[in-house]
Amino acid sequence: MKLQLALDLVDIPQAIEIIKEVEEYIDIIELGTPVINKEGLKAVSEIKAAFPNLEVLADMKIMDAAAYEVSNASAAGADIITILAQAEDSSIKGAVEEAKKQGKKILVDMIAVKDIKTRAAELDLLGADYICVHTGYDLQAEGKDSFEDLRTIKSVVKNARTAIAGGIKLETLPEVIKARPDLIIVGGGITSKEDKNAEAAKIQKLIKESVTA
């Protein structure tokens, strides 16, 4: 079970400052779509150069021209690249094939997917490395969470790893851990805290304890 830090509403220098505070407790740095939209793929290059021992996920939310987009993100230094589950099967296939060629991984984001069970099974067959259940900002505001969806995905996938994102914090972590995802994605649950290092340490401790339990 890995911990991924999601960075969304920051520029590159701010991202570097935050990562420095918590790098000993995180496994993967996610550069969110707003960061990449604002800064471009140089955000990926600069963060990978600054933290070569951490994996970097580029949250591209690819919808089309998938192989081309994956190739660009890979060249910039991304280890994991995201594509939307709503994309065409041919796009998912193109992303997976290009990622394999480059020695990278694909995380498929299930945001806004209605038939979670069917799509997760299809994505598993298409070769996704990770399938991520994701409660976006707008649904979080309505009080939705992803635990049930995660359990559904886990019941049908045979090869892909699972990930969960959206509003996760220390208080909700025990319930997340119970659902046994392979990757737990935390953003504001760490970045909004005064003492980010201490919060990341507590979250990582809970994760480690659950793995050895």
Sign of CA dihedral 94, 97, 103, 109: positive
pLDDT of residue 200 exceeding 60: yes
Q: Where are the alpha helices (DSSP H) in the chain?
A: 12-22, 33-39, 42-50, 66-76, 89-102, 116-126, 137-140, 147-156, 173-178, 188-191, 196-212
**Interhelix angle for 12-22 vs 42-50, to 10°?**
30
For residue 162, count other CB atoms closer than 10 A to its CB: 19
Q: What is the pLDDT of residues 135-181, one digit of tens each?
A: 755 554 455 557 788 999 999 999 999 999 988 899 989 988 998 99
Q: Which amino acid is at 21?
A: E
Query: Which of these CATH numbers, 3.20.20.70, 3.30.300.180, 3.40.50.300, 3.60.10.10, describes 2-212?
Result: 3.20.20.70
For residue 18, count other CB atoms closer than 10 A to its CB: 18
Residue 143 tokens, joined: 């009080």
Q: How far apart are CA 187 and CA 35, in angstroms?
A: 13
Q: What is the pLDDT of residues 43-98, one digit of tens each?
A: 999 999 999 999 999 999 999 999 999 999 999 999 999 999 999 999 999 999 99
Q: What residue segments make up the domains of the chain, in order of their start?
A: 2-212
Compute CA 183 distance to the chain's CA centroid, rounded to the nearest angstrom: 7
Q: Give this prediction's pTM.
A: 0.94
What average pLDDT does the structure give for the chain?
Answer: 93
